[in-house]
Amino acid sequence: RASRCIIGRGLIGDLKRRLPHYWSDYKDGFTGAKTAHKVSAAIFFLYFACVLPNLAFGMLNSDNTAGAIGVKKILFSQMFGGIAFALFGGQPLIVLLTTAPLALYTKIIFSISEDFDLDFRAFFACVGLWNAGFLLLYSLFGVSRLMKWSSRSTEEIFSLFITFAFSADAIKDCLKDFNTNYHTDACHADSNINATIGNYSSSGSNINTTITGVLPPSVAVGAVYNIADSLLNTSEVSTPTPGEPSTGGAAAGECMRESSILFLLLMLATVWMGLTLFNFTKTPFLTAGKREMLADYALPLSVLLVSFFGSYVFRDVKLKPFQYDPNETMFEVAPMTSLPIGAVIAAAGLGFSLSLLFFMDQNISSALVNTPNNRLRKGAAYHWDLLTVALINGFLSVFAFPWVHAALPHSPLHVRALADLEERVEQGHVQHIVVHVRETRVSGIVSHVMIGLSMFLLPRPLTYIPRPVLDGLFLYVAITALYGNQLFDRLLLLFTEQAAYPPNHYIRRVPQRKVHAFTALQLVQLLVLCVFGFSPYPYMKMVFPVLLMFLMPIRHKLVPKVIESRYLQTLDGH
């Protein structure tokens, strides 16, 4: 009877699999060829890849919650969650992070609290505790076994959606800056003034002739300047309506086109420099060891160099200031006893929807980390990882701190940072194959200790990192996540000459029309996710976690009706 009990069976299996390797998880961070270099590069990668999104989402949460959750709280959540998971989690290569969907849920909870006159911190904590309770049940009853139905197709669709999400956040920030500083009434007024002065300049000979014919030359010059000054004042200052004070300038604010141009320059410079260094191993410059070192430190080098240019070289250009509240309260227990019973029941519904998002994010990230292509030796721990995440977020919820869960593409990129890669050339195409990964807890622990210490670097020197550099980081992470994504590779085939197709296994074994049909089916699923995930209606986005769950039955029940199973094994296998 005991052997048939399903409660905790997955947890026990994970512990038996991972506990024998626990001490080696630390030892492997210090021993072996090139380990010191690889681990230190992974530490700096994790630091910048986590702390910069924390700053961006911290400012976003502060705006969405009227300052109830800000940068300081999000840095603490990152530090606590990262260290706790690196110490007690089953698969230490997974990276926890607060994400854009979690920021959206926070905004929805704040809106509901405002609509029904509820205490936001109490309602937020209640939703978080319900979420943690559901995750606890999922781990105890082994619900993660459902992930055996999660194929490469599901993982790649979700991964590409996350890439689009990071790119969309960066592009929206850039467009917002241009709308605020470039396309304004003040800028258009300046353009009209310049055109008017140009018209007067074209007939300036007549003006000068007329004026100098009547007045002495010195007086005539002053008269011309007075005319220009009166034109400027007439164009810029509007007559206030009775009862309203004069603005003394353009109604839409100051024109700062140089700020928007610098924003775009710094964002693209961060992406360009990061990708150039990331792909430096493909160049003939320097030695192989130095090329690999530059590639490993691509992210921190690009962030630091571009931040220096933005904050020092272009210091005369005004950029949007860093928003930080030094008086943000930290360890204050949320007053959940003030909530009525109806609010607690509503929080249960929100918590269940949130738990589906946590479940899919956590397990898909785990699947991408533990993919056979990464050649990990110590085994996965899906159930134990889910339990650890539940306990971490339960603690954070009590104090109304932001939640964290396994993040894409940070987790697979963490594996790559700790991996030794080997180049293999086949029919003129170069492929990078993982030959060994250092499965260690050291990089996660040290990087998140550094993130915790960053709370003492607020507001300076962290404020010297311009906002466009944060958006450039989003684009860099989004683009580098495309490497090895077969869905993206097959999308490129649609625009590639057939004679130049790479010698991939699925191209050799599957008819071309079946390859494109499978890609089209994935694109339809991705499009549906994007419609709900990027919807302008917040409540519509709450359906997104449920749609993620439907990807698995669609793959196993509907797709085989279009494409034969023997082809699916090739197209959708690791």
pLDDT of residue 231: 44
Whether residues 339 and 455 fall in one domain? yes
Examine residue 231 and state whether it is found in any structural domain, yes or no.
Answer: no
Whether residues 430 and 491 fall in one domain? no
User: How far apart are alpha carbons 374 and 91 in whole angstroms?
Assistant: 13
pLDDT of residue 443: 93
Collapsed DSSP state (helix, strand, coil) of residue 55: helix
Examine residue 326 and state whether it is found in any structural domain, yes or no.
Answer: yes
Whether residues 509 and 362 fall in one domain? no
447 falls in which pLDDT band (50, 70, 90)?
Answer: very high
- Looking at 466, 483, 500, which one is the last position of a domain? 483
Whether residues 466 and 496 fall in one domain? no
Whether residues 427 and 508 fall in one domain? no
Range among 26-35, 190-199, 325-334 with highest mean pLDDT value: 26-35
Q: What is the mean pLDDT of residues 51-65?
A: 84
Instruction: List pLDDT tens digits, range 247-269.
Output: 333 344 677 788 888 889 999 99
Computed on alpha carbons and rounded to an integer, the radius of gyration of the chain in Å comes to 28
Whether residues 569 and 497 fall in one domain? yes
Whether residues 476 and 498 fall in one domain? no
The phi, psi pair for 482, rounded to 5°, reads -75, -20
Examine residue 190 and state whether it is found in any structural domain, yes or no.
Answer: no
103 falls in which pLDDT band (50, 70, 90)?
Answer: confident
Whether residues 507 and 424 fall in one domain? no
Whether residues 79 and 102 fall in one domain? yes
398 falls in which pLDDT band (50, 70, 90)?
Answer: very high
Q: What is the mean pLDDT of residues 313-331?
A: 77
pLDDT of residue 557: 83
Contact 98, 82 (CB under 8 A): no
pLDDT of residue 426: 59
Whether residues 488 and 458 fall in one domain? no
- Looking at 483, 513, 539, which one is the last position of a domain? 483
Give the count of domains, the chain: 2
Examine residue 232 and state whether it is found in any structural domain, yes or no.
Answer: no
Q: What is the mean pLDDT of residues 425-435?
A: 68
Contact 441, 88 (CB under 8 A): no
Whether residues 93 and 157 fall in one domain? yes
pTM above the 0.85 mark?
Answer: no
Examine residue 204 and state whether it is found in any structural domain, yes or no.
Answer: no
Examine residue 226 and state whether it is found in any structural domain, yes or no.
Answer: no
Give the percent of the chain with pLDDT over 90.
25
User: Beta strand 419-426 with 429-437: parallel, antiparallel or unpaired?
Assistant: antiparallel
Please give the structure tokens belonging to residue 509: 């074994």
Examine residue 428 and state whether it is found in any structural domain, yes or no.
Answer: yes
Whether residues 488 and 417 fall in one domain? no
- Looking at 458, 483, 508, which one is the last position of a domain? 483
Identify the CA nearest to 458 among candidates 327, 301, 300: 327
Examine residue 35 and state whether it is found in any structural domain, yes or no.
Answer: yes
User: How far apart are alpha carbons 82 and 128 in whole angstroms?
Assistant: 18
Quote the domain boundaries for residue 26: 9-183+256-483
